[in-house]
Structure 1
Amino acid sequence: MPERARMLDLAPHPEGGWFRRTYTSPLTVELPRGPRAAASIIHYLLSDGEASAWHVVRSDEIWLWHGPGTLTLQLGGSGNEPVDGETTVLGGDTPNGERAQAVVPAGVWQRTLPSEGETLVSCVVSPEFHYDDWVLDAPAG
């Protein structure tokens, strides 16, 4: 277990990497699939060279970079299976195109490519993340 994961009390994530939910909104919204909190947030950590597997969430997801390394987020379309698509590098070098945040629209496949250095992000999901609203293509590894 990476030291930062231990310090932040993170657990292994089924997609790869490490996570812990840090916030769930007390407000709820009614959806056809059932009530959900208005939003949830996790810390998500990737060690050097780690990646997350293709997955899709039925809610919008906002990625917020904390560093220190960079993370490449790849979108995979909204079909039944992911396809290699647009990438965004989350990092602090904004003059060279890195961004501090990125949005993955609801229903769009996403994954991270192997990270460069240890990278901590937060992921805000609205309405909240719920395992019933999530599909994992294949575990990372």
Structure 2
Amino acid sequence: MDRPELAVRLDLEPHPEGGWYRQTWASPEVVTLADGRVRPTATLIYFLLPAGESSAWHRVRSDEIWLAHSGSVTVQLGGSGEAPEEAPTAGFVVGPESPQGLVPAGAWQRTVPSDADALVSCLVSPGFDFADFDLA
């Protein structure tokens, strides 16, 4: 897999769902959740999705705010059942005209290809941990 130039400049690594990422911040404050999990109150990543690529269906056990930097990406939502819904909703576009979007905790999500590279940040609260991440 060829690493895009922007992924090299930002020191991004392949993400299991597709695209490229790097955690840029984790809150030093932690919270103990009702089920005993301990997480930072929030985490932040860069996420690069090259033109024509998409991400796999996945879900996170925390709310996720998408923030646009360049390009745009469409996020489809697939409900919160055991598997993504067969007819996903359009979800939202994150880009210059709509620079923020919310994926609620536990919702299945995926990105669909666009014709240009998209760089976004994802803020997750309570903070992201791969133990809270499911691929379909």
Matched, 1:110 2:112: no
1:24 is aligned, of 23, 26, 31, to 26
CA contact (8 A) 1:18 1:45 kept: yes
CA contact (8 A) 1:49 1:114 kept: yes
**2:37 equivalent in structure 1:** 34
TM-score (normalised: structure 1): 0.90
Output the amino acid matched with 1:103.
L
Output the amino acid matched with 2:124.
V
Q: Distance in 2 between matches of 1:17 and 1:86?
A: 20
Runs of 4+ in 1 over 2 A off after TM superposition: none
- Unaligned runs of at least 5 residues, structure 1: none
1:85 is aligned, of 60, 84, 89, to 89
- Deviations along 1:42-75, one digit per CA (max 9) or x if unpaired, are 00001110111100100000000101x2200111
Task: Quote how far apart the aligned CAs of 1:5 are.
Answer: 0.3
Residue pairs, 1:5-84, within 5 angstroms:
5-31=7-33, 32-67=35-70, 69-83=71-85, 84=88
Q: Aligned-pair RMSD on alpha carbons?
A: 0.9
Task: Quote how far apart the aligned CAs of 1:116 are.
Answer: 2.4
CA contact (8 A) 1:38 1:128 kept: yes
Q: Distance in 2 between matches of 1:43 and 1:65?
A: 10
Identity of aligned residues (%): 54
Task: Quote how far apart the aligned CAs of 1:115 are.
Answer: 2.5
Q: How many residues align?
A: 131
Q: Distance in 1 between matches of 2:115 and 2:91?
A: 15
CA contact (8 A) 1:71 1:116 kept: no
TM-score (normalised: structure 2): 0.93
